[in-house]
Structures are given as structure tokens and as C-alpha cells.
Amino acid sequence: MTLKKEIAKRKTFGIISHPDAGKTTLTEKLLLFGGAIQEAGAVKSNKIKKGATSDFMEIERQRGISVATSVLAFEYEGFKINILDTPGHKDFAEDTFRTLTAVDSVIVVIDVAKGVEEQTEKLVEVCRMRNIPIIVFINKLDREGKDAFELLDEIEQKLGLKVTPLSYPIGMGYDFKGIYNIWEKNINLFSGDSRKNIEETIEFEDLNNPELEKLIGSKASETLREELEIVTEVYPDFEREAYLEGSLQPVFFGSALNNFGVRELLDCFIEIAPSPRPKESDTRLVKPEETNFSGFVFKIHANMDPKHRDRLAFVKIVSGTFERNTAYLHVRNGKKMKFSSPNAFFAEKKQIVDISYAGDIVGLHDTGNFKIGDTLTEGEEMRYKGIPSFSPEHFKYINNADPMKSKQLEKGIDQLMDEGVAQLFTLELNGRKVIGTVGALQFEVIQYRLEHEYGAKCYYENLNVHKACWVDPEDPKSEAFADFKRVKAKFLAKDKRGQLVFFADSAFTLQMTQSKYPTIKFHFVSEFERSKKAKTSH
């Protein structure tokens, strides 16, 4: 099969939502249709039920939330579909923001009772900034919730989207009878039995046909006709071009837990969702069908398999083909590297692949060579742009609770920090270690993983820091810089790369320091060094 055909077969998308809207459940049901799993797992699992496939970290199973993005691939109707299931919890938004750089489209899941929630607003804003095509799935229709028009209005107002329903509910909550599929012109009757893989679907071109009354009763028929008339008057017709540009968002209704409305979503998705899209690098726009391989690291996961202590770098292939045992250039290090066992994913199950195409995600075993945002190419000097880095907002001292395990603790901290979930700082004055995170829940996850994956125990002490600022002096040999380092010695630390960081304990302190030392720049993210190096090297 030609490169173009292989790329056209691929659909890589992310699923985003507020916690608990049913994102992981939807992922499970999509995999079920793809034949990738025989029986979907429940997220809120008791011991008997199978745990959700995409939540494979132990802590996720216990808490019933996803804390790391997982990658799942399956085949459906001749397409190769790559799903990136992202954490919904705001403390893990960083992981989700980075993942959005690796997807070509997204599905946003909204809870019928809660409507649009805060985390959804933030994530959709990122998608809109990048013009990522969005499909909306309104979930949990078998529960009491807001009325369909109210939800559609809320999505338009709060998320700034322009929607068009491609399916429509027949009743809701206790009265929920099924869905009219506007896209395929058929009716799907709801039996409430999630064990049935496919619900009963009845072709129904003409809603004025009296057969409708026999199917759903006269009251529901009347309501459905009225509401669909409003839909055609109020909402624009679906246009694929507008959807691909990010200016029109189709909406589907369903109940993922009951496996209802999911097939309709998937069938429409494979028809309209984009194949791999071009991506901007610092030198040019790279197209997927170019023959030369290029890709970038958007995530690093330590300990995919605790028995083997392996780290995987997740690479999104942007162009060409990635082949096993071929040497590729690691642009930041300037070194050529070969990979003997690149992995394709199915949650924690991995298989070695000989060749992957633009749009695919491959996992590369990593001994510490990769950082998030690194670019791999066949030799071209370029870097992919737009991988976000965040300024930590919570800081704590990390202390060893078991002196016999200091090596394990050091190794664990080192590897977990490379995942980009938190940052490690070492105080200049006394060498104490400080961890900075974007969300407070990260501390708990780090503590849990250090103990269960590395056999190391730690405890934290609070530290009053308002902001960590990366220090960038105009002249490192100047008197002013020497004075700054002397006066602020107590508040200086080095990050993992050895860059100097200033801990400001309040906004006022930061302001005073900036005005006292005008020749020193203070950056809130560590990424400034890249642009500096780029300037000097060009």
C-alpha cells in the first residue's frame, strides 16, 4: 500500500472532558466496537468487574480517575484509529495540553446533568486556539439532566462553539426511548441493556410516517417532530469543510455506559474526521505525506512495566515512515540513534512494530536521552513548535523517609521528573530538594508511585514559594549579578538542567527584585533557553 493510502487510513484523536463525564467509559466502548476488547471495563470498578483498559496505573484503578494519558490503537472498517485518552482532573491538565499537540481532532464529552464544566472550557479553548476539529458527545442520556436545547445553547455560549446536532434524543432520563440519527436518517431504540453490542436500528427517512407512533408512542413522536423542526431551522447544515477548519462542531447524544449512541458517533467520525494534518516546525510547515520521517516526543512515561524499570518516550509521527533499526537524528543532542524495539500501543499492552506511518504514535525505549518536546528526523535540522511547558504553582520539600532506600528515591525522583509532571529544584545553600507541581494532587501521585514502583518512601514539608523564576542575566560576570546571588542566596536553586532559579515568596518580592536588578530577566518557564540558543546558533 502506498504511503499516501496508509496515511489516509489513519485517524488520531484525543478524548477530553471534565472528570467523571464518562471519557474513559467512552474510550472503552469505542474499543469494543473496534473488536479490540471483548468486554468493556467499568471505571468505578469493584473487584469483580474488569478495570478500564486505558486506566492501567495502579493509582488510577484505586481512585477511579485517569492521571496519565494513555494511547490505544484499533482497526475499524478499514481505518487505523489511534485514541489518546487524557486525564480530566485539572491537576493533570499539563499532560492533556501536551497531548493536544499530538492529535488531529478531538471528541469532547459532556455530562447531560452537569453540562459544560470548568475544565472542559479550558481544554476546548486550547483546541480552538489550534483550530483542532471538535466533535461533541453528550453523555449519560439515561439519567435525568438538562434539556437538549439548553445543553446546545450552553455549549455555544460557554465554549464559544457553533454546533449542529447530528443525532437527537427521543426523551431523556426516565423517558429516554432512543436516538434519532440525523446523519444516517434512522432511529435507534434504547433497551437499557449494555450487554447488547449493537442496539436495534430502524431506517427512518420520513418522520411523518405513522409507523413512528407504533415505535415510540404518540406523545414522543409529536415531541420529536417538533424538536427536529426547530433543529433544522435553528442550526446550520453540517459542512465537513467548516468542521475541519474548526468553525463548526457536530454534536452526538448517547449513553457510553449503556453502549448507546457510540456506534453512530464512531461511524460518523471515520467518515468526517481528518487524516494526519501538517505541523509547523521552526523552519517550515511539514506535511504528513513527505517521504522523510520526522516526529516529536509529547510524553514520557517511566515504569510502563515496573518489573523492567523501562521508560517510554511517546513519539507522534508527523511525516513519512518510522522504521525499526534505522538511524534517526535526535536534533537537540545532534546524535543519530537506532531503535530496535519501537512499540505500538494498546493501553499497557505493547507490541513491537517494524514500520509506523504519519499519524501513528510509537513508544521508544529511553535510557534518559529524551525530554518532552524533542524532535527526531532523518537528518533535517528542525524543531517542532508549540509543546507547552508550565510554571509550577505548588512547592514542597521532599524528604527521604527510609535512609536505606536513598538510591531508589533518587532514581525514582529523577525518572518521574522526566515525565514532565513536576519539576525538581536543588537549593544552592543546603542542597535540599524541592518539588514544584502545577496541581496539588501531583504530590500524592508522586509519593504513591515512588513507593509502589521504586520501593522508596518520602514525606513532604511545606515551602512558601509564590513563583519559581528562571534567572537570565544580561552579563553573568557583572557586579549586579554577583550582588543578586549574594543577597538572594537563601532563595536560589538549580533545576534539573543546572539552570539557576529564584524562589520569590510573594508577588511583591518579585516586583522589588525586578526593579532592583533591571539587567536580570526572570522567566516563569525554563524554555527561554531554547530560543536563546537558537538565536546564537543561527
Q: What string of DSSP letters covers 427-465? A: ETTT--EEEEESSTHHHHHHHHHHHHHH---EEEEE---
Q: What is the pLDDT of residues 371-429, one digit of tens each?
A: 888 999 999 999 987 766 667 888 999 999 988 888 889 888 887 777 777 889 999 98
Cα(242)–Cα(249) distance, integer angstroms: 8
pLDDT band at 526 (very low <50, low <70, confident <90, very high): low
Domain 279-377 coded CATH 1.10.10.10: no
Provide the grid cell at 491. 532563595
DSSP state of 241: H
- DSSP reduced 3-state for 43: coil
Task: Name every residue whose Cβ is closer than 8 Å to that of residue 164 and which is 6 or more positions away in sequence.
Answer: 235, 236, 237, 238, 248, 249, 250, 251
Residue 269 above 80 pLDDT? yes
Closest CA to 433 of 453, 452, 416: 416
User: 58 or 477: which carries more pLDDT confidence?
Assistant: 477
- Grouping H, G, I as helix, E, B as strand and the rest as coil, residue 157 is helix
**404 DSSP β-pair partners:** none
Query: pLDDT by residue (tens digit) across 95-149?
Result: 667 778 889 999 999 988 888 888 788 788 878 888 899 999 999 888 888 888 9
What does the alpha-carbon distance between residue 28 and residue 426 come to, in Å, rounded to a whole number? 42
Which segments of 103-210 does DSSP mark as H helices, in order?
A: 118-129, 148-159
Other C-beta atoms closer than 10 Å to the C-beta of 285 total 8
- CA–CA separation, 331 vs 233, rounded Å? 53
- Listed in order, the ranges of the chain carrying CATH 2.40.30.10 are 279-377
Burial of residue 110, with CB atoms counted within 10 A of its CB: 0-12 exposed, 13-18 middle, 19 or more buried: buried
What length is written for the chain?
Answer: 538
Neighbours of 359 (CB within 10 A): 27
Reading the block at residue 211, the C-alpha cell is 409507523
CATH superfamily of 394-537: Peptide chain release factor 3, domain III (3.30.70.3280)
The pLDDT value recorded for residue 442 is 78
Q: pLDDT class for 91, splitting at 50, 70, 90?
A: very low
Q: 471: part of which helix (H) or strand (E)?
A: strand 467-473
How much is the average pLDDT of 468-491? Answer: 92
Question: What stretch of H or E contains 105?
Answer: strand 105-111
The pLDDT of residue 265 is above 50: yes
Residues of the chain with CATH 3.30.70.3280: 394-537
Rounded Cα distance between 94 and 3, Å, is 33
Please tell me which of 28-42, 182-196, 343-357, 442-456 the model is most confident about, judged by mean pLDDT: 442-456
Find all residues with CB under 8 Å of 264, minimum gap 6, and list them: 166, 167, 179, 181, 183, 184, 188, 252, 254
Confidence (pLDDT) at 63: 45
When the pLDDT of each residue in the chain is averaged and rounded to a whole number, the result is 81
Q: Report DSSP state, residue 37.
A: -
Question: What pLDDT score does 243 carry?
Answer: 95
Predicted pLDDT of residue 290: 93
Query: What does the pLDDT read at residue 403?
Result: 87
Report phi then psi at 6, rounded to 5.
Answer: -60, -45
| Residue with cell string 532523518 | 378
- In the predicted structure, residue 528 carries a pLDDT above the cut 60: no
Instruction: Tell me the residue type at 492.
Output: L
11 within 8 A of 273, measured Cβ to Cβ: yes
Mean pLDDT of 248-260: 89
**C-alpha grid cell for residue 378?**
532523518
| Spatial CA neighbour of 416 closest among 361, 386, 456, 388 | 456
Task: Kindly give the pairing relationship between strand 134-139 and strand 249-253.
Answer: parallel
Task: Give CA–CA dist 84/73, Å, rounded.
Answer: 9
Other C-beta atoms closer than 10 Å to the C-beta of 144 total 12
The predicted structure's pLDDT at residue 204: 65
The residues that bridge with 363 in the sheet, in sequence order, are 314, 343
The CATH homologous superfamily of the domain defined by 3-272: P-loop containing nucleotide triphosphate hydrolases (3.40.50.300)
Higher pLDDT, 227 or 24: 227
Q: Which helix (H) or strand (E) holds 75?
A: strand 70-76
Instruction: Please give the model's pTM, rounded to 2 decimal places.
Output: 0.73
Q: How far is C-alpha 144 from the geometric centre of its chain's CA atoms?
A: 29
Domain(s) of CATH 3.40.50.300: residues in the chain? 3-272
pLDDT of residue 56: 43
